[in-house]
């Protein structure tokens, strides 16, 4: 393999979002993930800058999963002139047909809001991309099977293995060169939790020369208290106070797992059978996609499907598809569960529910996963007294709870467990996709416990693949 092979970090370095990594062999260039930045404004502004690499210089794009911070920049990349192939697993390809158009629609709605209220520095405010751009980008994605070798550019081939994060999520193995000169880079991207329901555990790391590992929870452990016990306590407390339970939840992965747990708790008579609304057209569509991909399920989920056609539906389950159905939920008094996207409260229908319910001290807001710095979910988690929604400072009198372990990400111990499945020590590990503290903490553990060469790459940096 030519000595000029490099690995470039153009996103997901020094922060949790915006994942973009370039493998450059000199003869071919591969982009692994094409994600949007979320959270802090200074990061989101990068989405509007010129692409960090010339789009026409890339020979192929592979996407590890459908979450927007890993896939949502694809429409912009196509606008910039990218004409090559885009590969992902079949589950991811199907989910992107929902997520990318929805992302474009949200950008259009945000621009329209600024134009109505004159709150943009630019006149007129323009969306980052449109719903149609999202439709066209999703149509460019080719779905392939797990463990299927896909030749890309000269001397570059990839293979997807199960990551257990969301439906279709994958560990990406990139093989460079052949024979004695062959090198392998393994990208963990977002790794799921061992023992989580619905999806199988992450595939072993196996053989690798270079490992690029995420570190979202690189400095902490999920609660060892069972998720069911945490949910039972929060829901019973909310029922006793007579208020609504508003759950900002990612439409893909988090909503389905939450419904799984609520249905199981009801069946065991551990919580009352509450009206439970999923108010997210995208979550509804994503759940239908899940049903079409049983190859992604673990053995327990397959057994449940064989004995119960609705293993992820509580008894009083309701879907809110239309805006009118969504608005009607605001009139429901007393204990009710409202699950709505987005998971970090950065946009979507959940904002309407939060504006309506946050001033009520009987309300419980249940956070179910990682909250990136600067997002509304993070501000709630930090205990800020008001939350700005639609230009209004809404008082936060609701009780804010977090369920630890419901996150779709492995914690620090889970990441170390996965690294421990390496067939041999890699030449180097790069720790990415984490805030600086968690990334540094995980790197320290890898050095101390495994004795491996490890770096925490800076944004825009480059490393040799030896």
Q: What confidence tens digit (pLDDT) does each residue in 139-157 have?
A: 999 999 999 999 998 889 9
**The predicted structure's pLDDT at residue 308:** 62
In sign, the C-alpha dihedral spanning 372, 160, 104, 458 is: positive
**CA neighbours closer than 13 Å in the CB half-sphere of residue 84:** 18
Residue 189, phi-psi category: left (phi > 0), alpha (psi -120 to 50), beta (remainder): left
Residues making up the chain, counted from first to last: 466
Confidence of residue 310 (pLDDT cuts 50, 70, 90): low
Would you state the pLDDT for residue 153?
81
400 has a pLDDT exceeding 50: yes
How far apart are the C-alpha atoms of 114 and 118, rounded to whole Å? 5
Query: 6-220+408-464 adopts what CATH topology?
Result: Metallo-beta-lactamase; Chain A (3.60.15)
Q: Give me the mean pLDDT over the 345-360 stretch.
A: 92
H helix or E strand, kind and range, residue 133: helix 131-139
pLDDT at 384 over 80: yes
Q: What percent of the chain has pLDDT over 90?
A: 68
Answer for the pair 330, 353: CB distance below 8 angstroms, yes or no.
Answer: yes
pLDDT band at residue 117, thresholds of 50, 70 and 90? confident
* Per-residue pLDDT tens over the stretch 415-450: 999 999 999 999 999 999 999 999 999 999 999 999
Given a cut of 60, whether residue 2 has pLDDT beyond it is no
Task: Give the separation between CA 31 and CA 283, rounded to whole angstroms.
Answer: 28
The string of pLDDT tens digits covering residues 280-292 is 888 888 878 888 8
Q: Residue 341: what pLDDT?
A: 83
- pLDDT of 79 above 90: yes
**Topology agreement, domain 6-220+408-464 and domain 227-402:** no
Read off the pTM.
Answer: 0.86
Q: What is the model's pLDDT at position 249?
A: 87
The string of pLDDT tens digits covering residues 253-279 is 788 888 889 988 998 999 999 999 999
Domain ranges of the chain: 6-220+408-464, 227-402
Predicted pLDDT of residue 51 = 95
Q: For residue 309, is pLDDT > 70?
A: no
DSSP code at position 458? P
Q: What is the pLDDT of residue 88?
A: 98
Q: Which of 208, 221, 217 is nearest to 171 (CA)?
A: 208
- Name the band, by pLDDT with cuts 50, 70 and 90, for residue 463: very high
pLDDT interval class at 1 (50, 70, 90): very low
Average pLDDT, the chain: 91
**Which of the pair, 372 or 307, is modelled with greater confidence?**
372
What are the pLDDT digits (tens) for 171-221?
999 999 877 788 999 999 999 999 888 899 999 999 999 999 999 999 999
In the CATH hierarchy, which top-level class contains the domain 227-402?
A: alpha beta
């Amino acid at each position: 393999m030519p000595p000029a092979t490099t690995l470039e970090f153009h996103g997901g370095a020094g922060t949790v979002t915006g994942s973009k990594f370039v493998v450059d062999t000199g003869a071919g260039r591969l982009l692994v993930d094409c994600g949007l930045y979320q959270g802090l404004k200074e990061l989101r502004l990068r989405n509007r800058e010129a692409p960090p690499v010339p789009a026409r210089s890339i020979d192929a794009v592979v996407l590890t999963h459908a979450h927007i911070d890993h896939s949502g920049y694809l429409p912009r990349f196509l606008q910039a002139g990218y004409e090559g192939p885009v590969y992902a697993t079949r589950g991811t390809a199907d989910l992107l047909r929902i997520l990318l158009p929805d992302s474009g629609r949200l950008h259009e709605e945000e621009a329209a809001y600024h134009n109505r209220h004159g709150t943009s520095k630019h006149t007129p405010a323009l969306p980052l991309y449109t719903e149609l751009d999202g439709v066209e980008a999703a149509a460019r994605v080719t779905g392939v099977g797990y463990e299927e070798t896909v030749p890309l550019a000269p001397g570059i081939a990839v293979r997807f293995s199960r990551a257990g994060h969301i439906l279709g999520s994958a560990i990406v193995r990139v093989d460079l060169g052949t024979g004695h000169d062959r090198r392998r880079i393994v990208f963990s991207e977002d790794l799921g939790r061992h023992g989580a329901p619905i999806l199988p555990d992450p595939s072993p790391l196996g053989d690798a020369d270079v490992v690029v590992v995420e570190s979202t929870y690189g400095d902490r452990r999920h609660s060892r208290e069972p998720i069911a016990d945490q949910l039972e306590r929060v829901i019973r407390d909310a029922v006793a106070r007579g208020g609504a339970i508003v759950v900002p939840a990612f439409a893909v992965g988090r909503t389905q797992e939450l419904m799984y747990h609520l249905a199981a708790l009801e069946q065991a008579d551990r919580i009352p059978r509450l009206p439970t609304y999923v108010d997210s057209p995208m979550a509804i569509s994503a759940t239908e996609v899940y049903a079409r991909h049983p190859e992604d399920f673990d053995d327990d989920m397959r057994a449940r499907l064989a004995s119960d056609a609705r293993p992820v539906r509580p008894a009083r389950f309701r879907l809110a598809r239309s805006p009118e159905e969504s608005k009607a939920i605001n009139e429901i008094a007393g204990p009710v569960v409202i699950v709505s996207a987005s998971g970090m409260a950065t946009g979507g229908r959940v904002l309407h529910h939060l504006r309506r319910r946050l001033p009520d001290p009987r309300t419980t807001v249940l956070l179910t996963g990682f909250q990136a710095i600067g997002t509304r979910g993070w501000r709630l988690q930090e205990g800020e007294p008001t939350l700005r929604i639609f230009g209004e400072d809404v008082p936060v009198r609701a009780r804010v709870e977090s369920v630890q372990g419901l996150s779709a990400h492995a914690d620090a111990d889970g990441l170390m467990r996965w690294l421990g499945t390496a067939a041999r020590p890699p030449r180097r590990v790069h720790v990415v996709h984490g805030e600086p503290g968690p990334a540094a903490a995980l790197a320290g553990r890898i050095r101390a416990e495994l004795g491996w060469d490890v770096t925490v790459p800076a944004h825009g940096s480059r490393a040799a693949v030896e």
